[in-house]
Amino acid sequence: MHGQVVEKSWLTPTLVRVVLGGGDLERFSMVDAADAYVNLAFPPPGAPYDAEFEPAQVREHHDRQWWPARRRYTVRAWDPSTAQLTIDFVVHGDVGVAGAWAVHAEPGDVLVLEGPSGGYRPDPEADWLLMVGDESAVPAIAAALETVPAGMLAVVRVLCDGPEHDLDLACSGNLALSWVHRLGDGHDEELLPAAVRDLSFPRGRVDAFIHGEATEIREIRKHLLVERGLARADMSCSPYWRRDMTDEAWREVKRDFVRAMDEDVAPVG
Ligand SMILES: Cc1cc2nc3c(=O)[nH]c(=O)nc-3n(C[C@H](O)[C@H](O)[C@H](O)COP(=O)(O)OP(=O)(O)OC[C@H]3O[C@@H](n4cnc5c(N)ncnc54)[C@H](O)[C@@H]3O)c2cc1C
């Protein structure tokens, strides 16, 4: 499936919104999830096939060097009336494939995608909601907040580079949102776990959404399960990306990392 860039705008100095339309997006079948994501496929420069390709066909008919790079991105919004799909990309320097693509994207550019999948929805039966992540989780958190019932408490902590990166996030519930700003002092990965540790938890059952940088997510998950006694079923937890690793390198080690995350909270003996 593919769409074309119809609109691009900067939400913050490092978050760029791309709206896709046209192509064959009318085939897109949205799932009932706030964290719905698609697999984007970026062909390498000079790829010997059309911009509108089917990833499976490319893998079948071309050498591995021509296979597209795969990156997962959240569906920030899907409008079935216009068949337009909105994705918010974190731009993190000149490195990488997807962030760099978004910086240079222009109306008319083609983007190939597969999906969507996803499974998280804020639990309206919980007593309160906790949502934690960095900029890469902002699209999912923003989409989730739009579904929070009126009056329900949603406590949100988001890590970003500074006040000019803070966004107004809309929510019908009772939103307690704080942005946690990196200091660039070599200890930034400790800030988000510390922000969660510092929270005074309201009474009752919490439904938690914890997505973002792998080592930070691991630390927060351990804290919530071991020290706060959350049930695993009450937590959606996903290490989206890993500092100093491309997505290819991260996918190589992700299975072991997730196993180690489980061992963090396994009963001893
Ligand atoms: C289910 C799912 C949904 C996701 N949704 C989104 C989304 O909506 N928006 C979004 O921006 N990301 C999202 N991500 C994360 C995104 O897939 C990764 O950040 C991905 O690595 C970016 O690819 P890239 O080609 O730009 O960089 P890569 O080539 O993968 O990495 C190059 C370098 O950049 C670093 N890097 C990667 N991501 C970041 C980052 N966010 N901040 C700082 N440094 C980084 C890497 O550690 C590496 O050193 C999602 C991930 C998953 C699994």
Domains of the chain: 2-117 (2.40.30.10), 128-264 (3.40.50.80)
Q: Specify the pLDDT at position 268.
A: 59
Rounded average pLDDT over 152-174: 97
Region 81-108: mean pLDDT is 96
Residue 14 pLDDT greater than 70, yes or no:
yes
Tokens at 63, concatenated? 């050498």
Which of the listed residues 15, 135, 240 should we mutate to test ligand 1's pocket, taking the one with most ligand atoms within 8 A of CB?
240
Question: Distance of CA 25 to CAs 1, 53, 198, 201, Å?
Answer: 7, 14, 44, 43
Segment 187-202 mean pLDDT: 97
Q: What is the pLDDT of residues 20-74, one digit of tens each?
A: 999 999 999 999 999 999 999 999 999 999 999 999 999 999 999 999 999 999 9
CA–centroid distance, residue 247 to ligand 1 (Å): 7
pLDDT, tens digit, 9 for 90 and up, residues 227-264: 999 999 999 999 999 999 999 999 999 999 999 999 99
pLDDT of 94 > 90? The answer is no
Q: What is the pLDDT of residue 208?
A: 98
Segment 104-123 shows an average pLDDT of 97
- Residue 267 confidence (pLDDT) above 80: no
Residue 215 has pLDDT above 60, yes or no: yes
Asked whether 209 lines ligand 1 (CB < 6 A), one says: no
Q: Is the C-beta atom of 251 inside 6 A of ligand 1?
A: no
Q: Is the pLDDT confidence value at 269 over 60?
A: no
Integer Cα distance of 89 and 99 in angstroms: 6
Strand partners, 69: 42
Nearest CA to ligand 1 atom 18: 241
> Could you tell me the sign of the dihedral formed by the alpha carbons of 205, 181, 118, 231, in that order?
negative
Considering the entire predicted model, what is its pTM?
A: 0.97
Q: Where are the beta strands (DSSP E) in the chain?
A: 2-12, 15-21, 37-42, 69-74, 77-79, 84-90, 110-117, 128-134, 153-160, 174-181, 206-213, 235-241
Could you give the 3-state DSSP secondary structure of residue 70?
strand
Q: What whole-number distance in Å separates Cα of residue 80 and Cα of residue 28?
A: 9
Three-state SS sequence of 103-122? HHCCCCCEEEEEEEECCCCC
Phi and psi at 216, nearest 5°, equal -70, -45
Asked if 153 contacts 174 with a C-beta cutoff of 8 angstroms, the reply is yes
What local confidence, expressed as pLDDT, does residue 49 receive?
Answer: 97
Instruction: State residue 27's pLDDT score.
Output: 96
Q: What is the mean pLDDT of residues 205-210?
A: 98
Q: Using omega within 30 degrees of 0 as the cis cutoff, is the peptide bond preceding 116 cis?
A: yes
* Rounded Cα–Cα distance for residues 128 and 153 (Å): 5
Provide mean pLDDT across the span 98-112. 97
Give yes or no for a contact between 167 and 143, defined as CB atoms under 8 angstroms apart: no
Average pLDDT, the chain: 96
Nearest C-alpha neighbor of 207 from the set 182, 226, 235, 186: 235
Three-state DSSP class for residue 141: helix
Q: Give the model's pLDDT for residue 93.
A: 84
